[in-house]
Amino acid sequence: MRKSKIPSPQGGQKNKARVGNIIIACVVCVFAVGLLGFSYILWTVGKVNYNPITQNPSDVGANVAISDNNITNIALFGVDSRNGEAARSDAIMILSVDNRHKKIKLASILRDSYVEVPGNGMTKINHAYAYGGPELAIRTINENFGLDIMDYVTVNFDQLAEVIDAIGGIDIELSEAERENANKNISSYAAEAAQNGKEIPLDYIDGSGLQHLSGVQAVAYARIRYVGNGDYERTDRQRRVLEQMFNKVMEMNVVSYPGLVNKLLPLVETSLDSGEIISLGLKALANGKPVFEQTRFPLNEDFGNGGAGTMINGTWYMIFDIEATAEKIQAFIYDDVHPNDGTAAAETSSNSGNGDIEDTGE
């Protein structure tokens, strides 16, 4: 397994992040569509909000010693920047296009993870985006986990339900508790929209078990906070929705691409130019449809305080073994070594995590 020198952490702070990793599914859909519709994408991809960042690895703390030309890592951020507030990244993921092992990998980072944000001391990892935008957020990930990320994609949650509807909805298995909480979120979602002059139908989920969810229902499901083990299960739900979206796009007929692309691309901000997006798509599909794998970090076994989190100066944080986590993230991305504590890449169970935790929504 590859190892690199991992800096030690240090500082603290607070806020109310809202939408979850499901919005990152928009990004994966963009890539999936890009993989399949090159001629159309070639001229429509220009609709992406292109925001170039530094190309100097040291500026974003990239660990060049671990780089592999066959593996491209991209930071994915999901933000809610409404009401003029500075946007914290409520969803943080690392997308790896792994040509060496012919896979696409997705590693989500728990947003309450207590890490050192350069220049800001120890605090939640999702604060980095608000403090210094995508460059500081990338640097925070690289320096804490010894990675070589140089690019990012950010998606705002706006119009997410429309995107899911554009692919025809998704099939999700949910418990009765999840159904009840998702329906509460639908009510809140509609009230939020009404305050902004929009109308969202009260499209409640009728039953538990395997259900076909509309965009509004899927967003409500992904925003569940208080069923099960808080953020642990929340990230599992979000990744499940993401995987369903990815699979749906990969199965779509080419005639459906124009409408989908027109909805997706305006939602995306990225440091990747159109040529790089196309190149990534070509690489990912070089050997046919790639295997899609996903997991979450930190792993259960690396949490401090039994996974219950810790209050510091009135704010809740997830304390974990940062060096062990860095080694395991590197092993997953570069060496294709899967975690083995209930969050393994192929896992489909929604039950992960040790004990109930408090989700402050910050």
Host H or E run for residue 317: strand 315-317
Count the neighbouring beta carbons within 10 Å of the beta carbon of residue 141. Answer: 25
pLDDT in the model for residue 132: 94
Q: Chain centroid to CA 357: how far? A: 20
CA 205 to CA 201: how far, in whole Å?
12
- 326-353 burial, b for 16+ CB within 10 Å, e for fewer? bbbbbbbbbebebbeebbbbebeebebb
pLDDT in the model for residue 224: 86
Domains of the chain: 21-159+235-334 (3.40.630.190)
User: 312 Cβ partners below 8 Å, 6+ apart?
Assistant: 12, 114
Please, what is the Cα angle at 6 between 4 and 8, to 5 degrees? 165
Residue 103: closest CA among 332, 339, 321, 347:
332
Please, what is the Cα angle at 50 between 259 and 43, to 5 degrees? 45
CA 334 to CA 149: how far, in whole Å?
13
Residue whose pair of structure tokens reads 């914290």 in the numeric block: 88
Q: Chain centroid to CA 149: how far? A: 15
Per residue of the chain (362 residues), give pLDDT as tens.
444 443 443 343 333 333 444 445 566 665 565 555 554 555 566 667 889 999 999 999 999 999 999 999 999 988 765 544 556 677 899 999 998 888 889 898 998 999 999 999 999 999 999 999 999 999 999 999 999 999 999 876 656 777 788 888 999 999 999 999 999 999 988 888 788 888 878 889 999 999 999 988 998 898 887 786 666 677 778 778 877 887 788 787 766 766 777 777 777 889 988 778 777 777 777 666 778 888 889 998 898 766 667 888 888 899 999 999 999 999 999 999 988 644 434 333 333 333 333 344 45
- 209-235 burial, b for 16+ CB within 10 Å, e for fewer? eebebbbbbbbbbbbbbebbbbbbbbb
pLDDT in the model for residue 290: 72
User: 252 Cβ partners below 8 Å, 6+ apart?
Assistant: 36, 167, 260
Residue 276: closest CA among 287, 284, 266:
284
Amino acid residing at 184: K
pTM of the model: 0.75
Token couple for 47: 């609709």
DSSP for 127-157, written as a single string = GHHHHHHHHHHHHHHHHHHT----EEEEEES
pLDDT in the model for residue 244: 84
Q: Is 271 left (phi over 0), alpha (psi -120 to 50) or beta?
A: alpha
